[in-house]
Structure 1
Amino acid sequence: MSTLTVRGRGRAVHVPRRTLAVSAALVTAALGLAALGLCYGASWVGPADVAAALTGSGDAVVVVRDWRLPRVLAALVFGAALGVSGAIFQNLTRNPMGSPDVIGLDAGAYTGALIALTVLSGTPVQLAATSVLCGLLAAAAVYLLSSGGGGPSGMRLIVIGIAVNAMANALNAWIVLRAELEVAIAADGWSAGSLNGVGWTDLTVPLVVIAVLLAAMAALAHAMHQAALGDAVAAATGVGLGRLRLRMVLVGVGLTATVTAVAGPIVFIALAAPQIGRRLARAPGVPLLPAALTGMVLLLGADLVAQMLLAPESLPVGVVTTAIGGCYLLWLLGQEVRRR
């Protein structure tokens, strides 16, 4: 496979040309969907009017810049965050089922959000803090329960994660049932994962947090791919596996919890995006860039479908991603059966 070598700061990075081509195609698709998202809504706004609104002129400034642009930006950034989070945990577990929504991290983060809504005052800072904290607690529970011998194996971690996910969902249901009626209705609707009503005030802190976490993961990408070659190879090349895995878990949980704190648990993007991106790029391991870009395209496309299905009513995007994820799981199981 031909590669392109990028040099900087004394390090050479070899990027397969196919990965670059696939990434360029995914960026083009994401930009096309973003343009459609700015045009489509309760009323159609033509591309020329959208361009004028983005520059601050015309009659559609409020509709485009204040209502639709935050939603489109949230879908792009949250899709990238979920794609990278899924790639992190699939690399850690070396299993295509190892994503945050399967192993209980989404449900754990949602528990924290519910605690902020029902016990605390539910401010954005409280939602983010409790979501991250409970997501980390879920990750610690999965890791400790699946540990044995030389550490947790991929399949054991998946099975334990599914059990933790079920227990967290049961706890979440109990919290909703015990909450006041108005809070319970809002929390139940939010549990599907929704971008409805997302505005600039909801995005300021999450966008900064996600940007920092993605930058941190980009710095760890080389070591992550070294670790994917095997523990012995990683140790021989000077990779500290324990420290690397801890940092990867912190970044992965932080990305998932930040998205959950704003939009609720949007499932299956973290599961499907990394594997779709890997197959498109035909890359070894689970590369981060195709996973992030595929997550963008999947979430933005799903949100557009959610707006169109019962227009003018807009469905929670999680309803559509669940349907996509179900089809993906059937396909993945079919692939596993054929291999055996």
Structure 2
Amino acid sequence: MSVKYNKHFLAILVLLFTPFSLFAQAKYEKATFAGGCFWCMEHPFEKLEGVSEVLSGYTGGQKKDPTYEEVSAGATFHYESIQITYDPAKISYSKLLDVFWRQIDPTDHEGQFVDRGLQYRTAVFYHNEEQKRLAEESKEQLDKSGRFDEDIVTEIIEATPFYKAEEYHQDFYKKSPRRYRAYRRGSGRDKFLERIWKKKMDTEHNSNKFNKAAHAELIKKLTPLQFKVTQESGTEKPFENEFWDNKKEGIYVDVVSGEPLFSSHDKFASGTGWPSFTKPLEPDNFIEVEDRKFFMKRIEVRSKHADSHLGHVFEDGPEPTGLRYCINSASLRFIVKEDLEKEGYGEYKKLFE
């Protein structure tokens, strides 16, 4: 066998025995952002089409493999950050930058909202010269837009080693949805972002898309039971409702507005006779209200955009959240996974792949 033939033969063997996953990974790129508390930075990016993974971690500092306690002490000079793995054929780096700016206060050089200290500074960590150029251009455009009264101080820094944070920090918004929402509200982040971006919050999940119809239209659109439950905070009968025993794969949306609420992945058999879920699909689409009717204290769950009564949340659910979202079927519309694209919810297809 000739040397030339040998080389070709070896090349073919390499191609045949290299796992396909290694080739698939070649098309993905990394983006790294620091925007204060990393709990609040994962969720906005994880729901984007083209994003395959978002990790919380630490970067920009001096110590290898730092712990949360060390970073929090401020001695390592690391930033709390997120690292995004994305497919540039499906989502551009410019789009990621646009989402990033809408999560932070870029004029604060001492932290973010209630969180103060070096670890909560904001920064874009670029991985190549093209990312650097785009980041600098987007920063300049934002500065010139006049949206902020003060100068943009977010740094554009060359990427340094990224260290994944402890497991309990990963997907915190999924593991502890109630604590996550309470933290966001209490930190002042949500109030600030709503004030700054109120006129341009036209994202895929905003209130402009998920409007509530007028009262007269709702009467025509909804069944008497759906109207009673969603508009009058009624309760349907257990075991005699549409979805309590539904085992199909798909997502549940608000019957009034269509805003995404739950995934079938998080549905479980609670034995109560109502659809029960361990966590929301989109935590930002929920409002919790203290309910003291019937001489008891409960937490009512309502949809954010339509203000529909959905049900209640209890702390007697299974792991990992320990929560049980007990929801009325009459508040929900179910979209089977095969129809997600057709119904305008194509971004959720990856949940079932």
Give 1 or 2 for the bigger CA radius of gyration. 2
The answer to whether TM tops 0.5 is: no
Q: What TM-score, normalized to structure 1? A: 0.24
Structure with more of its chain in strand, by fraction: 2
Structure with more of its chain in helix, by fraction: 1
Structure possessing the higher relative contact order (Cα contacts under 8 Å, 6 or more residues apart): 1
